[in-house]
């Protein structure tokens, strides 16, 4: 794979590939969409370090404009819960190899059940404050958690966001449905932590 090959969106259509020296002759602007091998999606030229250096652009931080819809967030959550519950079931089945008696097995299954929610809280906190800004479910769907400017959140902010999900759940999940009434698709726990769930800009 040649990493020195760039596809450029010109008049709404992808053109190329071009190498770095050829890009100088294309009259690119900081907002021209460009993609190279290894990138998940197109980025504006000013967001690519080597192009900033080559063309003298400055990085332009812009507020997010594309937000994850309710169905995307729901599907990501279902995936995460499926993975976590699957791990829980696997651990329980392994423990059954060392536990005899029906009553003991029921206790072994039921007593640790609340730990799923604790694990989900910690997992969400650290995953969404990581470099990827997302849990496995969110990564598979192509969405991530950010602050109001699209940047990575701290572990503290991520903890507040995940812990505040109780606010979205208690009033019969209305805190989640509130995203339909919010132009940035924020749930109550997003508002409490000043966070967004965003998706990449599409071409």
Per-residue pLDDT tens over the stretch 57-72: 877 666 777 899 999 9
CB 197 within 8 A of CB 144: yes
Q: Is residue 199 classed as helix, strand or coil in its secondary structure?
A: strand
Instruction: Indicate the Cα dihedral angle 65, 68, 69, 71, nearest 10°.
Output: 170
Q: In Å, what is the CA distance from 76 to each residue of 68, 108, 119, 143?
A: 10, 29, 17, 9
CB 24 within 8 A of CB 8: no
Sequence-distant (≥ 6) Cβ neighbours of residue 116 within 8 angstroms: 84, 85, 88
Q: How confident is the model at residue 203 (pLDDT cuts 50, 70, 90)?
A: very low
Residue 131 has pLDDT above 70, yes or no: yes
Q: What is the pLDDT of residues 78-104, one digit of tens each?
A: 999 999 888 888 877 777 777 776 666
Q: Provide Rg for the chain, Cα atoms.
A: 22
**% of the chain residues with pLDDT over 70:** 89
Residue 158 has pLDDT above 90, yes or no: yes
């Amino acid at each position: 794979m040649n990493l020195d090959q760039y596809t450029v969106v010109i008049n709404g259509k992808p053109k190329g590939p071009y190498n770095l020296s050829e890009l100088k002759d294309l009259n690119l602007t900081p907002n021209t969409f460009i993609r190279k091998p290894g990138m998940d999606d197109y980025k504006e030229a000013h967001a690519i370090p080597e192009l900033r250096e080559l063309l003298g652009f400055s990085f332009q931080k812009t507020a997010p404009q594309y937000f994850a819809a309710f169905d995307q967030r729901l599907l990501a959550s279902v995936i995460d819960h499926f993975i976590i519950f699957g791990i829980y079931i696997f651990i329980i089945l392994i423990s059954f190899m060392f536990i005899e008696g029906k009553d003991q097995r029921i206790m072994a299954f039921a007593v640790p059940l609340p730990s799923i929610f604790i694990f989900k809280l910690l997992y969400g906190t650290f995953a969404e404050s990581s470099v990827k800004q997302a849990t496995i479910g969110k990564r598979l769907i192509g969405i991530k958690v950010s602050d109001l400017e699209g940047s990575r959140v701290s572990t503290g902010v991520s903890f507040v966001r995940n812990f505040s999900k109780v606010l979205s759940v208690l009033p019969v999940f209305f805190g989640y449905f509130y995203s339909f009434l919010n132009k940035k698709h924020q749930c109550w726990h997003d508002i409490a932590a000043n966070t967004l769930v965003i998706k990449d800009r599409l071409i």
